[in-house]
Structure 1
Amino acid sequence: MTASTLTRTSTRNSGGHSAVVKRRKKRFQPSRFVATLIVAVLAITWLVPFAWATITALKSETEAAATPITLVPKSGFTFDAFAKVLQQGNIPQWTLNSLFTAAAITIITLAISTLAAYALSRIDFKGRKLMMTIIVASLIVPPPVLIIPLFYQMVSFHMIDTYWGIILPQVIAPAMVFVLKKFFDQIPRELEDAALVDGAGRIRIFWQVVLPLSRPILAAVAIFVFIGAWNNFLWPFIVTNESSMLTLPVGLQTIKSAYGIQYAQNMASALLAALPLIVVFLFFQRQIIKGISTTGLAGT
């Protein structure tokens, strides 16, 4: 047996041994087990209130208010609470209002935030550091503080009970600008320098180079903005008076306040308001997870 043969044989043996070691390591990893256990506990913690709301919504009002509390009602489950909520309010119109305003807020916020973040990340202009400082400082300002000046501004612009009155005050998102700016900082400048050498301008570089590389973070930001706009109750409640202009969270609240505390109907209305967000998450959960895991969003 030659020396080369012995070398190949030893290499194969060592390779096979390392493969066996790797396989043994993959069999049980305490850190992975602990992480899976924590995720399972958090999932159950989130599902328990949702399951409780679903069970309560499927009860009659008598069973929902009865004591002791039971998981399975004696008279069986019913959809009466959902039917009454749908009959009492203009649910289809409110849902369309929420979809339109949330989609418009998401699109406009993405457009403004991406352009602002790219300028702060790549363009060296006078006052850049001051502007970034203002954006970071604005993150600590609670949104309710701005409600009164925003309301007077909408009154002066004659935007009360209009879609623009709901949309415009919600399109400025300093947190999203900060997150996008941090992501743009990670994109290699060599790619843009090569495009500049080829004669491309800033707008073309932004559109054809930066945005295609930013799809995960753009998807994550879009979903977060949409969810925030959909769940926003306070501002649409203040800026709208007509029933035809109400968003779904505001409209469902008017039903509950008009008809008193009815547990089954309250839970049914809450599920109806959450249903679109659940659908969005089911369809775009990969984009959410990818955006958080690959862009550093979780650490910002």
Structure 2
Amino acid sequence: MKWFYRLVSLFMAVLFAGPLVWMLFVSVKEEGMKIITVVDWFTPPYSLTVYQEILSGTKLTNWIGNSLLVAVFVTVLTVAAAALAGFALSKIPFRYRTLMFFVVLAGLLIPGEATIIPLYQVAKDMNLLNSYQGLIIPALASPVAVIVLKSFFDGIPNDLLESVQIDGGGSWRIFMRIMLPLCRPALASMAILTFIGSWNNFLWPFLSITDDNLFTLPMGIPTLISQYSEDYVKPMVVNAIASIPIIVLFVIFERQIVKGISMSGIKG
């Protein structure tokens, strides 16, 4: 049966990689190319002229920088806040701790679209629209990250923490010296999933940003591609450039991404 599973895996790999390969080949074709057969998509001549034109004549690099800036800040702050909240819910006894956990859990039951109108009103009242703060702050609450990290903290024996307390260590020392190092795989998984989610986020930037200098990639690409609706090459170049960072991230952190998806699917 191993050959069957390998054959199915190979078929799925080709199925998913096919559009990416096609995109890369089309992106290096010349404008106005004549396509008669499928083979013509993949045959020379090739050219990088359109890449140079897109990078120098549009705001795509600016949008990439915006997406990278927002994604990095959202990832760092979200994981830090989720780790602190998960540690408190798991290891620090306080009144109504169980109630607070169910409040966080209830956040998974509310669709994000249902909170858009009140979130927009709050952002407007706080003058956060059309700003980096308006892109970052509303994305920091992550019930999934809190629950996943709490589950990992629950698995750490309390005896280990008590030994640190006997030596005079407080909650902050326990959190920094014991909990974070032991939960490094979970932190890495949540960081990668949060980064990908922020990088692909479209709805909130679409509603909160009107200045094209602050556009992120998911918002800027449709406005750019709409200008080249009659040509294949330029839209493919735009998508290829936008895909490179996330493809590199996936290749480097493939194991952590798969582990993070499996953990969030089971625990969340």
Change (3 A) 1:36 1:192: farther
Change (3 A) 1:261 1:104: farther
Say how many residue pairs are matched.
267
% identical aligned pairs: 36
1:33-48 matches, within 5 Å, as: 36-48=6-18
Change (3 A) 1:261 1:233: farther
Separation in 2 of the partners of 1:82 and 1:171?
34
Change (3 A) 1:75 1:275: closer
Q: CA deviation at 1:67?
A: 4.9
Q: CA deviation at 1:289?
A: 5.0
2:102 aligned partner: 133
Normalising by structure 2, what TM-score?
A: 0.89
Q: CA deviation at 1:291?
A: 5.7
1:299 aligned partner: 266
- Secondary structure at the counterpart of residue 128 of structure 2: coil
Deviation track 1:4-40 (CA, whole Å, cap 9, x = no partner) reads xxxxxxxxxxxxxxxxxxxxxxxxxx5x656555543
| 1:92 lines up with 2:61 in the alignment | yes
Q: Is the 8 A contact 1:88 1:255 kept in 2?
A: no
Separation in 1 of the partners of 2:11 and 2:154?
36
Separation in 2 of the partners of 1:243 and 1:168?
20
Name which of 170, 177, 192 aligns with 1:223: 192
Separation in 1 of the partners of 2:212 and 2:49?
24
Q: Is the 8 A contact 1:55 1:71 kept in 2?
A: no
| 1:212 lines up with 2:178 in the alignment | no
Normalising by structure 1, what TM-score?
A: 0.80
1:167-206 matches, within 5 Å, as: 167-206=136-175
1:270 aligned partner: 239
Q: Is the 8 A contact 1:63 1:73 kept in 2?
A: no
- Secondary structure at the counterpart of residue 55 of structure 1: helix
1:13 aligned partner: none
Change (3 A) 1:216 1:292: farther
For structure 2, the residue ranges without an aligned partner over 5 or more in a row are: none
Change (3 A) 1:254 1:72: closer
Deviation track 1:141-193 (CA, whole Å, cap 9, x = no partner) reads 22122222111111111111110000001011111111111111111222111
1:241-280 matches, within 5 Å, as: 241-280=210-249
Q: Is the 8 A contact 1:91 1:248 kept in 2?
A: yes
Q: What residue identity is the alignment partner of 1:188?
A: P
Bigger Rg, which one: 1
2:22 aligned partner: 52
For structure 1, the residue ranges without an aligned partner over 5 or more in a row are: 1-29
Which stretch has the larger CA shift, 148-157 or 167-176? 148-157
Q: CA deviation at 1:93?
A: 1.7
